[in-house]
């Protein structure tokens, strides 16, 4: 998939993509908390660290992207992704989230297509996404399946007793890319 695919989606939904800005740490953590997946202290610990490392130049700028809404140009969602250090040309999507006020408007798809474009342009072969089987993640699982990601396995009781890790992946380049 080429980065242009993301551009096409961008035109379709009226949002836009840009790098993370240094002055929007609080806003991006608010977006994460607004999804209901994080308590503020958990967002701070997990994602605040990522934003600090980005701002400090310890992470490449190209490993995170912000989507802004078409109306006000506000940061409405963001994603963070990185190559897997233990496999050749495999990338992980570590975080993707869109403010609930903008769910269903195409911004999540815009983010995901952008990530796939970056991975493919970097000779990445496979994008891996890990999530949970808990009911609040049903929307995310449907979103990944709808974008061509196949479920590759589950680890029972991974996040907590009774809460499995669910692993999705998709080929983003190479002969098998179109087959998902
Ligand atoms: C998952 C998430 C990023 C999707 O973002 P979004 O902006 O709502 O998704 P989009 O509007 O781009 O929708 C993309 C596709 O998913 C589909 N979709 C959206 N909501 C859906 C739902 N509740 N059930 C099934 N499919 C759904 C849309 O129909 C669309 O398909 P289409 O392009 O074929 O029409 C968003 O729901 C979110 O932030 N969830 C909370 C955070 C989260 O769970 N992150 C993942 C952590 S693993």
The pLDDT assigned to 67 comes to: 96
The pLDDT assigned to 7 comes to: 47
Mean pLDDT value of segment 84-107: 95
Is the CB of 20 within 6 Å of ligand 1? no
Q: Which residues face 67 on adjacent strands?
A: 17, 77
**CB of 83 closer than 8 Å to CB of 127:** no
The first and second tokens of residue 20, run together, are 């993370």
Distances (CA, A) of 13 to 2, 6, 27, 73, 142: 18, 11, 22, 13, 19
Mean pLDDT value of segment 162-173: 96
**CB of 13 closer than 8 Å to CB of 107:** yes
The pLDDT assigned to 15 comes to: 74
Mean pLDDT value of segment 51-80: 90
Is the CB of 171 within 6 Å of ligand 1? no
The pLDDT assigned to 91 comes to: 97
> How far is it, in rounded angstroms, from Cα 105 to Cα 12?
10
**Residue owning the nearest CA to atom 27 of ligand 1:** 143
Mean pLDDT value of segment 93-97: 97
pLDDT class of 9 with cuts at 50, 70, 90? low
| Span from the CA of 9 to the centroid of ligand 1 (angstroms) | 14
Which residue has 């995901």 as its token pair? 112
Is the CB of 131 within 6 Å of ligand 1? yes
**How high does pLDDT run on average in the chain?**
89
Q: Which of 66, 139, 142, 167 to mutate to test the pocket of ligand 1 (most atoms within 8 A of CB)?
A: 139
Which residue has 């769910």 as its token pair? 103
Is the CB of 104 within 6 Å of ligand 1? yes
pLDDT in tens, 70-79: 777 789 999 9
The pLDDT assigned to 10 comes to: 58
Is the CB of 97 within 6 Å of ligand 1? yes
| Span from the CA of 143 to the centroid of ligand 1 (angstroms) | 5
> How far is it, in rounded angstroms, from Cα 82 to Cα 111?
14
| Span from the CA of 146 to the centroid of ligand 1 (angstroms) | 9
> Is the model's pLDDT at 5 over the cut of 60?
no
């Amino acid at each position: 998939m080429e980065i242009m695919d993301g551009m096409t989606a961008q035109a379709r939904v009226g949002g836009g993509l840009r790098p993370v800005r240094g002055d929007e740490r609080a806003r991006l953590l608010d977006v994460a908390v607004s999804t209901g997946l994080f308590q503020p202290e958990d967002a701070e610990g997990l994602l605040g660290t990522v934003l600090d490392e980005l701002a400090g130049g310890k992470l490449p700028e190209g490993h995170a992207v912000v989507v802004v809404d078409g109306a006000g140009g506000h940061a409405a969602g963001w994603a963070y992704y990185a190559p897997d250090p233990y496999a050749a040309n495999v990338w992980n999507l570590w975080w993707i989230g869109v403010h609930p006020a903008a769910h269903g408007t195409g911004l999540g798809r815009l983010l995901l297509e952008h990530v796939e474009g970056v991975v493919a342009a970097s000779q990445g072969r496979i994008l891996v996404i890990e999530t949970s089987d808990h009911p609040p993640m049903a929307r995310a699982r449907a979103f990944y399946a709808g974008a061509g990601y196949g479920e590759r396995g589950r680890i029972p009781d991974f996040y907590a007793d009774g809460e499995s890790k669910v692993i999705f992946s998709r080929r983003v380049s190479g002969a098998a890319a179109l087959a998902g």
